[in-house]
Amino acid sequence: MPKISLSRLAKMKQENEKITCITAYDASFAAIFDKAGIQVLLIGDSLGMVLQGHDSTLPVSVKDIEYHTKSVASTAKNSLIISDLPFMSYATPEQTYENAATLMRAGANMVKLEGGKWLAQSVEGLVERGIPVCGHLGLTPQSVNVFGGYKVQGREEDQAEKLVQDAKLLEKSGIQLLVLECVPVQLAARISKELHIPVIGIGAGSDTDGQILVMHDAFGISAGFCPKFSKNFLIETGDIRRAVALYKEQVENGSFPSAEHSFY
């Protein structure tokens, strides 16, 4: 399989082919996902919770993401690799450029950052400097203290409209992918339809252009809380490789996520 490119993902949206994404943090799992044909691997700051044992993503550093990006990039030869810019690593445009460059040198093909309108200048600057950008709206875990917890976003009309406008502004600024997390199905469907770029959902229903899960949630091995939008594919198969194949199959045929994994 040739290396997945952003143009390939854009074509998949145009042709109504679902995009499958999953988090990866090490060489072994990255190789499994890559071989299974998962299009996108995310080195997420979720590692702060699932690997480091914190109760949020806030303690994660750029060095942490850089280390795990190198590990994933060593074996993932076909999947597109996205790396998170962690909490307060993109507070200013200059800081954003420096930290994004660090992750790109580590093996990322794209960086992801959380937020809306305030990021427009940084997004434009990254794209001008040759760094592709993935946006992230809805429940943005780095803002958990502002939200007062991990809550569904966009249920109120004014909040939903703000998310739509932020999504359009980020697209205009140059993002080439957007992750929507924990938003109502109807809102996610609207944003996916109105944007020209692929929209990847997590807890956003099945009408987005693709899905992403934290790998520990997809295998049912996260410590403690398992989010409503996730599904344990490992318990259905008893084998990690078959679980990955089942996840990919159900995303592609639209059976995952179902209504029980979605918000309204």
Q: What is the sign of the dihedral through the CA atoms of 163, 167, 173 and 179?
A: positive
| pLDDT at residue 222 in the model | 84
Average pLDDT in the 232-256 region? Answer: 97
- % of the chain residues with pLDDT over 70: 99
Residue 131 has pLDDT above 80, yes or no: yes
Q: Indicate if the pLDDT at residue 147 is higher than 80.
A: no
- Quote the CA–CA distance of 60 and 47 in Å, as a whole number: 8
pLDDT of 107-127, one tens digit each?
999 999 999 999 999 999 999
Catalytic residues: 181
Contact residues for 184 (Cβ-Cβ < 8 A; gap 6+): 152, 154, 155, 160, 205, 263, 264
Query: At 143, is the pLDDT very low, low, confident or very high (cuts 50, 70, 90)?
Result: confident
pLDDT of residue 11: 98
Fold category of 6-261 in CATH: TIM Barrel (3.20.20)
Residue 224 has pLDDT above 70, yes or no: no
* Residue ranges per structural domain of the chain: 6-261
Region 86-94: mean pLDDT is 97
Alpha-carbon distance of 258 to 16, in angstroms, equals 18
Contact 20, 1 (CB under 8 A): no
CA distance 119 to 117: 5
How far is the C-alpha of 75 from the C-alpha of 182, rounded, in Å?
A: 31
